Amino acid sequence: MCGIVGIVGRSNVNQSIYDALTVLQHRGQDAAGIVTCDGDRLFMRKDNGMVRDVFRTRHMRRMIGHMGIGHVRYPTAGSASSAEAQPFYVNSPYGITLAHNGNLTNSESLAEDIYRADLRHINTNSDSEVLLNVFAHELQSLGKLLPQPQDIFEAVRRVHRRVEGAYAVVAMITGYGILAFRDPHGVRPVCFGRRETPNGPEYMVASESVALSGLGFHLERDLAPGEALYISAEGELFTQQCADNPQLNPCIFEHVYLARPDSIMDGISVYKARLRMGEKLADKILREWPDHDIDVVIPIPDTSRTSALELANRLDVKYREGFIKNRYIGRTFIMPGQQQRKKSVRQKLNAIELEFSGKNVLLVDDSIVRGTTCNEIIQMARDCGAAKVYFASAAPAVTHPNVYGIDMPAASELIAHGRSVEEICRIIGADRLIYQDLDDLVDACREGNADISRFECSVFDGQYVAGHIDAAYLGDLERSRSDAVQRSNDMERLAALAENEVIDLHNAE
Ligand SMILES: O=P(O)(O)OC[C@H]1O[C@H](OP(=O)(O)OP(=O)(O)O)[C@H](O)[C@@H]1O
Ligand SMILES: NC(=O)CC[C@H](N)C(=O)O
Ligand SMILES: [Mg+2]
């Protein structure tokens, strides 16, 4: 998951894009980028780091123009190199820049085709650069000097036929307008909104509605799966369905962890979905453990707060904030590398001893993925003198890798892969472990929008809705992107950079 944003405005959009990226920062902390368009000139700034660190006043001043796009990155393909920060740019046709949230599952074979058949050069290992080149090739092959909305939609239609996997995209065609499109399964989210100004309406596209509301845009709606939207530089809006057989299968993990609770996604309030997760988990506890001896429910901040609160209400047990989060440390799950994630849990969360001492505590988290957080937290609760430490997860056991834009590429890194609940409970050192049932999680989300017939739940059930995902694909992914491999790639890259041996194609300071 990354965050994407695009704005066609009536005055300079640089500050609004910056502000929107800060609202979407929870979707990617590794790199950030903005490109604006003034007439036929582009102004781009991108680099590794958080939004507040990447953009300085001197950059902001130079990024003029009434339309632009932005991105916050959490890498799921290629490396964490600054050369893979987004947006990406190709000069032909027209000059196109693109930002992508998701992950292509056929990017290797596409990269080969792009080179051999389309005669295009790809400079990084990023699947997003591949996606941009496929789109650019398809638009170029229409051979129009002045592209019309119908041409742009035709190019998207052809992209859908070639590309597999998950992709929510915003792209800018220099001098012409901004385009957004969503893959035919609608796995990753993207919505758009409108803001009135004395000079006419402005439009914004974003990964989450919270970016729209934060900037005074009114949420119009989510893009449908397979749909494309085009806003001309003059502010005219066009939409078209570009997929042959679209089906809405949104990623359920957005509701569990990725999205902000104050977002509305595909008609579902993420906040209310999380409240319902808490209710259903409480019902399971009451069903399976009616004589429980829980004294207090304690959330693991931040994401589990909403479900833990409702769980405590339903159990009629006290809810207490037993862990305080250092607000200056980001989300640990989306940090690259296990060592960094482990160190950060202790730096990030500190316990209030009196909430634990002599009590039977139920710790609640939204999910358990690698087990980094719960391992540390349970030990901290014991160090504070808890009598019993029970643990509940508002999501079912994460047993399978993700291939659609969440960095969980290796089954062997998942604590629940191939293990029973009892084994996991023993490993994390809890006195009892309770997971949400998958049917209950799906119901908790679907109650917000009964029209969604299927969610993308592959991390829980191993059913992959898009692309051709088989054991061979997952084996290759594990070999190429496991933590150990990424660590050694990053070390090599840093060593080469230190010796000034690497020349990346990206903007200067
Ligand atoms: O089992 P793990 O591999 O540790 O992953 C799961 C944990 O990671 C996330 O927290 P994170 O700190 O990223 O963000 P948050 O502050 O939004 O909860 C998530 O909320 C869980 O607490
Ligand atoms: N998390 C994402 O959406 C990542 C987008 C893209 N696959 C990248 O690695 O840059
Ligand atoms: Mg957490």
DSSP secondary structure of 80-138: S-GGG-S-EEE-SSS-EEEEEEEEESSHHHHHHHHHHTS-----SS-HHHHHHHHHHHH
2 is catalytic: yes
Cα 231 from Cα 381, distance rounded (Å): 53
User: What is the secondary structure of 373-389 as a DSSP string?
Assistant: HHHHHHHHHHHTT-SEE
Q: Is 303 annotated as a binding residue?
A: yes
Cα 57 from Cα 347, distance rounded (Å): 31
pLDDT at 499: 53
User: What is the secondary structure of 262-284 as a DSSP string?
Assistant: T-EETTEEHHHHHHHHHHHHHHH
Mean pLDDT, rounded, for 469-497: 75
Q: Which atom of ligand 2 is nearest to the CA of 188?
A: 3
Q: Which atom of ligand 2 is nearest to the CA of 28?
A: 1
- Tell which wins on pLDDT, 483 or 423: 423
Would you place residue 506 in the very low, low, confident or very high pLDDT band (cuts 50, 70, 90)?
low
* Distance from the alpha carbon of residue 303 to the mean position of ligand 1, in angstroms: 7
Total residues found in the chain within this entry:
509
Q: Residue 508, Cα to own-chain centre: how many angstroms?
A: 27
Please give the mean pLDDT across all residues of the chain: 93
pLDDT at 329 over 90: no
Mean pLDDT, rounded, for 216-234: 98
**Residue 367 beta carbon below 6 angstroms from any ligand 1 atom:** yes
Pairing of strands 200-206, 3-8: antiparallel
Q: Is 295 annotated as a binding residue?
A: no
pLDDT at 503: 52
Mean pLDDT, rounded, for 20-29: 97
Cα 98 from Cα 89, distance rounded (Å): 7
- Amino acid letter, residue 256: V
pTM above 0.80, yes or no: yes
Cis peptide bond upstream of 299, omega within 30: no
Q: Which atom of ligand 1 is nearest to the CA of 26?
A: 17
Q: Whose CA is nearest to atom 14 of ligand 1?
A: 331
Identify whether the C-beta of residue 37 lies closer than 8 Å to the C-beta of residue 64: no
- For 60, 227, 317, 421, 428, the CA distances from 154, given in Å and listed in that order, are 35, 12, 57, 49, 52
Would you place residue 508 in the very low, low, confident or very high pLDDT band (cuts 50, 70, 90)?
very low
* Distance from the alpha carbon of residue 257 to the mean position of ligand 1, in angstroms: 8
Which residues have C-beta within 8 Å of that of residue 225, sequence separation ≥ 6?
182, 183, 184, 185, 186, 243, 246, 247, 248, 249
* Distance from the alpha carbon of residue 321 to the mean position of ligand 2, in angstroms: 34
Identify whether the C-beta of residue 378 lies closer than 8 Å to the C-beta of residue 323: no
β-partners of residue 5 are 70, 206
- 48 sits in which H/E element: strand 41-48
Mean pLDDT, rounded, for 309-320: 98
Give whichever of 73-82, 151-160, 400-409 has the largest mean pLDDT: 151-160
* Distance from the alpha carbon of residue 365 to the mean position of ligand 3, in angstroms: 6
User: What is the secondary structure of 460-481 as a DSSP string?
Assistant: HH----SS---HHHHHHHHHHH
Would you place residue 348 in the very low, low, confident or very high pLDDT band (cuts 50, 70, 90)?
confident
Q: At what angle do helices 127-140 and 149-162 cross, to 10 degrees?
A: 130
pLDDT at 493 over 90: no
Q: Which atom of ligand 1 is nearest to the CA of 366?
A: 20
Cα 90 from Cα 157, distance rounded (Å): 20
| Tally of CB atoms within 10 A around 420 | 10
Q: Is 118 annotated as a binding residue?
A: no
pLDDT at 224: 98
pLDDT at 434 over 50: yes
pLDDT at 79: 80
Identify whether the C-beta of residue 229 lies closer than 8 Å to the C-beta of residue 27: no
Q: Ligand 2: residues whose CB is within 6 Å? A: 1-2, 73-78, 84, 100-103, 126-128, 405
Buried (b) or exposed (e) across 65-82, using 16+ Cβ within 10 A?
A: bbbbbbbbbbbbbbbbbb
Kindly state the percentage of the chain with pLDDT values over 90: 85
**Residue 368 beta carbon below 6 angstroms from any ligand 1 atom:** yes
Would you place residue 344 in the very low, low, confident or very high pLDDT band (cuts 50, 70, 90)?
confident
Mean pLDDT, rounded, for 145-154: 97
Buried (b) or exposed (e) across 462-499, using 16+ Cβ within 10 A?
A: eebbbbebeeebbeebbeebbbeebeebeeebeeeeee
Identify whether the C-beta of residue 455 lies closer than 8 Å to the C-beta of residue 251: yes
pLDDT at 345: 78
Mean pLDDT, rounded, for 42-69: 96
Would you place residue 404 in the very low, low, confident or very high pLDDT band (cuts 50, 70, 90)?
very high
| SS3 at position 218 | strand
Given 2, 191, 242, 251, which residue is catalytic? 2
Classify the C-alpha dihedral 397-403-406-407 as positive or negative.
Answer: positive
* Distance from the alpha carbon of residue 499 to the mean position of ligand 1, in angstroms: 36
Mean pLDDT, rounded, for 446-469: 96
| Residue 93 half-sphere exposure toward CB, CA atoms < 13 A | 18
Mean pLDDT, rounded, for 128-152: 97
Q: What torsion do the CA atoms of 63, 191, 187, 138 make, to the nearest 10 degrees?
A: -60
Would you place residue 407 in the very low, low, confident or very high pLDDT band (cuts 50, 70, 90)?
confident
Identify whether the C-beta of residue 409 lies closer than 8 Å to the C-beta of residue 381: no
ipTM computed for the complex? 0.97
Kindly state the percentage of the chain with pLDDT values over 70: 94
Pocket test for ligand 1, best of 208, 256, 257 (most atoms within 8 A of CB): 257
Ligand nearest to the CA of 104: 2
Pocket test for ligand 1, best of 332, 424, 436 (most atoms within 8 A of CB): 332
